[in-house]
Amino acid sequence: MVLISLIAISLIYYFLRARAQKRIVQEAKVKARLTMASYLQNPNVGTASEDEPKNSKSSKTDQLREFWVPGLIGEIVWKLIASVIMVRFASNLYTPNNLITYVLAAIPLSIAGFLWIGPFLDYTVGKMARSFYGFGEKVEPHAKYDQAESKWKMGHPHEAIKLIEEQLEDFPEDYKGQLLKAEIQKESLRDFASAEATLLEVASQKNHGAGKIAGVLNQLADWYLKAGDQESAKRILIGLCKSNPNSQIEFNCSQRIARLDFSLDSNDTRDASELVSLCLKQLDQHPLDIVTREQLARIYFERYGKTELAWKEMTNLLSNPFQKPKDISRWLNLMADWHIRKGNPGGATQCLEQIMSRYPDLPYCERANERLMRMKS
């Protein structure tokens, strides 16, 4: 009777864990969509998602395995067969009014019981034991820079770098350690050349992935700009574009390069034809420059009277797959304004509905829906 109760409890446990697995998978899909949307909104260069897929996948796999959900129905079947064998064996051992056979029969019955209750006990009692004693879980070794950071904050940068280099001997090419070292070299030691060399060394280590390498080189470009060396910064950014064609990295770096070469005040009072000429010249050199292309569209619509050309430029902006959701939402709202000014509420509605269909899980969807309701009321 006890064994039957254990089997019933275990089957209920498996059922609940199976439901948990399904929920985890669904939440993972939603999180993936939100992560991608957040990633596209990040103004920094970002293909960091390329660097972490294995870790993310491993983490999710470990999370699912933690629940002991049977991957195949066969796991339950073999446990049932083993339980029947154990119960049969125990019944053969047991003799009424004989204490020794009672003890012997209890052994196979206990084994059968643990086959079913084991996963549940491991998840509850075992988890608690591991939290107290720290055993049973594999911990991957990793570099530790707490002491180095403490030394740095206490005003001992040389000692901090020494501690970092000791860690790097055990964990060569560790990303965090090398960046920390470069930061100390630049900020505390005022040794720009050494800090530059450290970042360039990190950028040469291909195991970091495109996103992290791009982040390092963008940091170096920032340092060049802060030092007044615009040409070196531009050289770094152009190199990133060439080494990462048709990517988010190329797109983001192109925006930075474009701003180094050209900037147009939105309130510029010069003649519209002159502004159009300047914008077209800039876009000929920097076709991915979204700021200039948006300004050109505005000039076409608001000052030049060329509505068709304005729509063409906006369509060009919307067609780029690397645009940020906040920019696309803003452009579609702008186009909705233009439709209303032209007496075309149907076109405005289509623009707002497009925002809602593109980003159903982002705040832009709710705002577009609210505006649409106001238009209809």
Kindly list the distances between the CA atom of residue 162 and the CA atoms of 144, 190, 252, 271, in Å, as whole numbers in the listed order.
13, 17, 36, 61
User: In 3-state terms, what secondary structure has residue 323?
Assistant: coil
Q: pLDDT (tens digit, 9 = 90+) per residue, 267-317?
A: 888 999 999 999 999 999 999 999 999 999 999 999 988 999 999 999 999
Q: Of residues 245 and 39, which shows the higher confidence score? A: 245
Tokens of 240: 């990133």
Q: Are residues 199 and 156 in the same domain?
A: yes
- Asked, for residue 100, whether it belongs to a domain, the answer is yes
Nearest-angstrom CA–CA distance, 253 and 234? 9
The residue-averaged pLDDT of 19-43 equals 50
Percent of the chain with pLDDT over 70: 71
CB of 186 within 8 A of CB of 192?
Answer: yes
pLDDT of 268: 87
pLDDT of 182: 96
CB of 117 within 8 A of CB of 9?
Answer: yes
Q: Are residues 21 and 129 in the same domain?
A: yes
- Asked, for residue 341, whether it belongs to a domain, the answer is yes
Kindly list the distances between the CA atom of residue 177 and the CA atoms of 36, 48, 158, 161, in Å, as whole numbers in the listed order.
27, 18, 14, 9
For the cut 80, the answer to whether the pLDDT of residue 32 exceeds it is: no
pLDDT of 54: 40
Q: Are residues 32 and 82 in the same domain?
A: yes
Q: Are residues 64 and 109 in the same domain?
A: yes
CB of 250 within 8 A of CB of 239?
Answer: no
Nearest-angstrom CA–CA distance, 166 and 172? 10
Instruction: Using the 3D structure, point to which of 166, 184, 205 is the last residue of a domain.
Output: 205
- Asked, for residue 225, whether it belongs to a domain, the answer is yes
pLDDT of 89: 74
Q: Are residues 66 and 124 in the same domain?
A: yes
Kindly list the distances between the CA atom of residue 248 and the CA atoms of 36, 41, 148, 322, in Å, as whole numbers in the listed order.
12, 11, 34, 6
Nearest-angstrom CA–CA distance, 247 and 159? 40
The residue-averaged pLDDT of 342-367 equals 95
Q: Are residues 215 and 247 in the same domain?
A: yes
- Asked, for residue 267, whether it belongs to a domain, the answer is no
How confident is residue 116, by pLDDT bands cut at 50, 70 and 90? low
Q: Average model confidence (pLDDT) for the chain? A: 81
Burial 43-72 (b: 16+ CB within 10 A, else e): eebbbbeebeeeeeeeeeeeebeebbbeee
Q: Of residues 35 and 266, which shows the higher confidence score? A: 266
CATH number at residue 317: 1.25.40.10
| Predicted TM-score of the model (pTM) | 0.65
Q: Are residues 175 and 239 in the same domain?
A: no
Q: pLDDT (tens digit, 9 = 90+) per residue, 55-113?
A: 444 444 444 444 444 444 566 666 777 777 877 777 777 677 777 776 777 777 777 66
Q: Are residues 127 and 23 in the same domain?
A: yes
CATH number at residue 198: 1.25.40
Residue 217, phi-psi category: left (phi > 0), alpha (psi -120 to 50), beta (remainder): alpha
Burial 182-210 (b: 16+ CB within 10 A, else e): bbbbbeeeebeebbbebbeebbebeebbb
Tokens of 248: 């988010």
Whose CA is closest to 334, among 358, 370, 301? 301
Tokens of 8: 């019933």
Q: Are residues 199 and 319 in the same domain?
A: no
Q: Are residues 257 and 351 in the same domain?
A: no
Q: pLDDT (tens digit, 9 = 90+) per residue, 130-175?
A: 555 455 555 678 899 999 999 999 999 999 999 999 999 999 999 9
pLDDT of 187: 95
| Number of domains making up the chain | 4
For the cut 50, the answer to whether the pLDDT of residue 53 exceeds it is: no
How confident is residue 49, by pLDDT bands cut at 50, 70 and 90? very low
CB of 251 within 8 A of CB of 228?
Answer: no
The angle at the Cα of 62, spanning 25 to 110, to the nearest 5 degrees, equals 110
- Asked, for residue 363, whether it belongs to a domain, the answer is yes
pLDDT of 183: 96
Nearest-angstrom CA–CA distance, 164 and 153? 14
- Asked, for residue 266, whether it belongs to a domain, the answer is no
- Asked, for residue 229, whether it belongs to a domain, the answer is yes
For the cut 90, the answer to whether the pLDDT of residue 247 exceeds it is: yes
Instruction: Using the 3D structure, point to which of 86, 113, 133 is the last residue of a domain.
Output: 133
Q: Are residues 8 and 71 in the same domain?
A: yes
- Asked, for residue 251, whether it belongs to a domain, the answer is yes
Q: Are residues 253 and 281 in the same domain?
A: no
Q: Structural domain of residue 281, as residue ranges?
A: 272-376
